[in-house]
Amino acid sequence: MQSYESSNASKDANDDKQRLLNYNSSFQNSSSSVVNPFSSSNNLPQLPNSLPPSASAYTRYPQGLTGSRVASTQSLGSKSSAQSGHSALPSSNSSDKSSSPFLVDSDFSPFGGYPASSFPLHIDEKEDDDYLHNPDPIADADYDKHRFWYDLKSLDKRSGWSLFGIVLFIVGILGVMVILPILTYTGAAGHAKLVPQSYTQLSEYVYPRLSAIRTSLIDPDTPKSAYTREALDGSLWSLVFSDEFAVDGRTFYDGDDQFWYAPDLHYDATKDLEWYDPDAVTTANGTVQFRMDAFQNHNLFYRSGMLHSWNRACFTQGTMEVSAQFPGYGNVSGMWPGLWSMGNLGRPGYMATTDGVWPYSYDSCDAGITANQSSPDGISYLGGQRLNACTCKGEDHPNRGTGRGAPEIDIIEAEVDTNVRVGVASQSLQIAPMDIWYMPDYNWIEVYNNSVTTMNTYAGGPFQEAVSATTTLNTKWYELGDGERYFQKYAFEYLNDDSAGYVRWFVGEEPTFTVHANALAPNGNIGWRRISKEPMSMVMNLGVSNNWAYIDWPSISFPTTMQVDYVRVYQPNNSVSMTCDPSDYPTYDYIQSHPLAYQVWNYTNWTAAGYDTPKNSVVNGC
């Protein structure tokens, strides 16, 4: 270090002396202790052999000097004076240049922070923000610990008013939300009804609480004379459900009605040419009207409506009676009006739900539950009964051990006989598995008037067996034509006893034909088909399809409308069941656990909806 001073200080003596004069001028009032590099060597602590100071030579964080980021010049001066016994600033005429300019007689720096030995800057390089680059950790820790109070003390006037406003806002909120309710609380649990001193009665009309909500399954507009109906055995069955559609302007979008729902879909199961739209179904003139338009939509050319009570209103055993007027002319073929019912496990139009359950009504474990009925002759193209009575333990089934399905009973599917040009009612029981040649035991089928009713020449196909009869209709029961137009009643009545069960159909007050339970006896490799024990939902629709009847397009005029005056359901007094989820044939939990199949209409089969077919003991073994 001595050689350093002798070689450099001699060359720049004049410059160094000038810097020292500037330093003395800047710090003449400060007591900070700084070593003059040009003072005599007695003012500098001598380090033997030019070695750096040991750990005990200085304290990096001296005690008692942590109150500020920058040590005060007074503290620096007093400390250095006490240690060296010399003046903090040497005189300007000192000429000893043998000391290092980087060493000081105290471990503090006039640039701020400490220790000085870690911050060896020339004095002419001092800047105002030097303390930021040589921080004091102890002072920083103290500042961070009490930051809130330091910031609060240093608030300017504007910030102080802002803080006051925030506090005032909080106090106001507490006053309104807490203090005011406390002060105004009376202790009363409720408020007494206020009775005016005087009032004027403006109207005698008593407004209903909720005029659109029925509190009974029986429509209050149903006449008392219709509260009972005579059954096949002469007993009187009671009315358990009715809808007279007497209130105009009802709509049937999903959620609009308690009992009915108009779907928004294409009915692909029968390859219909129309789109079913809720807009096409409404009530007017005391009827529910199904309007078919030649209206292009959804890549189809026609729009019509369907109404059903699936999972809302179902019945098991009884009579379903509907009063209706069919669309168009009674001598023009093409329209497909339908009034029917189906087991609640199948949702109309949702083909994934009907896959493997429609139109099964079967409780045996044999070839009848297998695909194609295990027959190579093409009698059946069905994939087998999915919910059969022999489902293996742990498999997906609403109530294992019972054969389940979605059988169909048609009150009427109307068409026109193109030979004699009059309307015809097709009334059917759709079942599976199928008899050989689709022929039930006709010894147990009863036709009441052969002059107007005959067994249908169509008895079924590879997808269903149709036990069906056709009855001639009066052309005055249609929408268009000469003379007065009329409504007509159509109905079916059934009991599901295994031996005494039957289904009986009506046109007007007259029965047309009856199918007794024995007509569905074992045949070939299949067992008994049963009269439906499933909860049956009610369906009404107006369609058009090449799969149904010849369509006389030039003679059909659009729009055309089917009207339904009422729907009524009767049941024996000792077996009333108006539920879609009876205990012995439940459906609710099963429907809820398969939402994709029951809520997404364009899945065409059960596996497409993401569900597996349950295994059974006949096909898979258990």
SS3 (DSSP) at 143: helix
Pick the closest to residue 467 from 488, 490, 447 (CA basis): 447
| 262 and 171 housed in the same domain | no
pLDDT category of residue 186 using cuts at 50, 70 and 90: low
Residue 364 and residue 502 in one domain: yes
Q: Is the pLDDT of residue 617 over 50?
A: yes
- In sequence order, the β-bridge partners of residue 238 are 228, 571
* Shared domain check, 394 and 375: yes
Q: What percent of the chain has pLDDT over 70?
A: 75
Residues 286 and 294: beta-carbon distance below 8 Å = no
Closest CA to 530 of 546, 540, 545, 518: 518
Q: Does residue 591 have a pLDDT over 80?
A: yes
- Structural domain includes residue 470: yes
The confidence band for 53, taking pLDDT boundaries of 50, 70 and 90, is very low
Mean pLDDT of the chain: 83
Look at 135-149, 200-214, 520-534 and tell me which has the smallest mean pLDDT. 200-214
Residue predicted with more confidence, 106 or 555: 555
Q: What is residue 12's three-state secondary structure? A: coil
Predicted confidence at residue 140, as pLDDT, reads 77
Report the range of poorest mean pLDDT among 27-36, 227-236, 251-260: 27-36
- pLDDT computed for residue 74 by the predictor: 40
Mean pLDDT, to the nearest integer, of 304-322? 98
Distances (CA, A) of 371 to 365, 391, 556: 13, 15, 41
Residues 95 and 156 in one domain: no
Angle at 338 between CA 334 and CA 341, to 5 degrees: 155
Assess whether pLDDT exceeds 90 at residue 436. Answer: yes
Which of the 8 DSSP states describes residue 270?
G
Instruction: Answer whether 325's CB lies under 8 Å from 490's CB.
Output: no
Identify whether 404 is part of a domain: yes
Which tops the pLDDT comparison, 40 or 184?
Answer: 184
Residue ranges in 92-207 assigned as alpha helix (H): 130-133, 137-145, 147-153, 157-174, 180-184
Q: Lowest mean pLDDT of 148-152, 324-328, 333-337, name the range.
A: 148-152
Q: Are residues 367 and 512 in the same domain?
A: yes
- pLDDT the model gives residue 321: 99
Domain termination site, one of 133, 159, 177: 177
37 in Cβ contact with 16 (< 8 Å): yes
Residue pair 555/328 in contact by the 8 Å Cβ criterion: no
Beta carbons of 575 and 317 less than 8 angstroms apart: yes
Count of domains forming the chain: 3
| pTM, rounded to two decimals | 0.68
- In a domain, residue 242? The reply is yes
Structure tokens at 40: 């005599």
Q: How high is the pLDDT of residue 18?
A: 52
What is the torsional sign of CA 250, 253, 255, 258? positive
**Is residue 195 over pLDDT 60?**
yes
Classify residue 54: in a domain, yes or no. Answer: yes
pLDDT value at position 38? 41
Structural domain for 171, as ranges = 148-177
Cα separation, 14 vs 17, whole angstroms:
5
In a domain, 603, yes or no: no
| pLDDT recorded at residue 158 | 87
Determine the pLDDT at residue 136: 74
pLDDT band at 184 (very low <50, low <70, confident <90, very high): confident
> CA torsion sign, 585 to 528 to 346 to 534?
negative
Residue with tokens 């059974």: 616
Distance CA 428, CA 318 (A): 16
Residues 401 and 349 in one domain: yes
Could you tell me whether strands 302-304 and 274-276 are parallel, antiparallel, or unpaired per DSSP bridges? Answer: parallel
pLDDT at 88: 39
Phi and psi at 616, nearest 5°, equal -135, 165
* Residue 413 · residue 338 · CB < 8 Å: yes
CATH number at residue 546: 2.60.120.200
Assigned domain for 537 exists: yes
In a domain, 547, yes or no: yes
Q: What residues contact 194, with CB distance under 8 A and at least 6 apart?
A: none
Q: Residue 375: pLDDT band by 50, 70, 90 thresholds?
A: very high
What gap in Å lies between CA 359 and CA 55, rounded to an integer?
A: 98
Burial of 93 (0-12, 13-18, 19+ CB in 10 A): exposed
**What is residue 49's predicted lDDT score, i.e. its pLDDT?**
43
| Co-location of 362 and 238 in the same domain | yes
pLDDT at 301 over 90: yes
Q: 25-29, 156-160, 274-278, 502-506: which range is least confident on average?
A: 25-29
N- to C-terminal Cα separation, the chain: 100
- Greater model confidence, 213 or 278: 278
| Nearest alpha carbon to residue 424 among 507, 504, 485 | 507
Report the distance separating Cα 169 and Cα 127, nearest Å.
45
Rg of the chain over CA atoms, in angstroms?
50
What's the rounded Cα separation, in Å, for the pair 51 and 447?
128
Cα–Cα dist 18/13, whole Å = 9
At residue 151, the pLDDT reads 80
pLDDT digits (tens, 9 = 90+) for 257-266: 999 999 999 9
| The residue type at 409 | I
For residue 263, whether the previous peptide bond is cis, meaning omega lies within 30 degrees of 0, is no
Residues 71-100 pLDDT 10s? 434 444 443 343 444 443 444 444 444 444
pLDDT band of residue 344 (cuts 50, 70, 90) is very high
Residues 290 and 166 in one domain: no
Distances (CA, A) of 420 to 303, 424, 486, 575: 29, 10, 21, 43
Which helix H or strand E contains 498, and what residues bound it?
none
Name the pLDDT band for 52 (thresholds 50, 70, 90).
Answer: very low
Mention every residue, 6+ apart, whose C-beta is less than 8 A from residue 293.
Answer: 280, 302, 303, 304, 558, 559
pLDDT given for residue 45 in this prediction: 43
Give the torsion sign (CA, 550, 553, 555, 560): positive
Q: Which two tokens stand for residue 361?
A: 């009504």
- Cα gap 512→469, rounded to integer Å: 8
103-119: per-residue pLDDT in tens?
444 445 554 544 554 45
Give the model's pLDDT for residue 93: 41
On whether both 157 and 81 belong to a single domain, the answer is: no
97 and 167 share one domain: no
In a domain? residue 384: yes
φ, ψ for residue 498, nearest 5 deg: -60, -30
Mean pLDDT value of segment 176-187: 80
Out of 47-61, 242-256, 428-442, 482-496, least confident range: 47-61
- CA-CA-CA-CA torsion for 168, 173, 176, 181, nearest 10 degrees? -120
pLDDT the model gives residue 486: 97
More confident residue, 218 or 80: 218
What was the pLDDT predicted at 196?
A: 63
DSSP state of 587: -
Say whether both 61 and 118 belong to one domain.
Answer: yes
What is the model's pLDDT at position 214?
A: 83
pLDDT at 425: 96
Q: Based on the domain organization, do 134 and 158 belong to the same domain? A: no
59 versus 578: the higher-pLDDT residue is 578
d(CA 86, CA 45): 12
CB atoms near residue 477 (< 10 Å): 21
pLDDT for residue 192 is more than 70: no
Give me the sign of the Cα torsion angle 113, 114, 118, 123.
Answer: positive
What DSSP element (H or E) covers 24?
Answer: helix 13-26
298 HSE (CA, 13 A, CB side):
14
23 has pLDDT over 60: no
Which has the closest alpha carbon to 429: 317, 541, 530?
Answer: 530
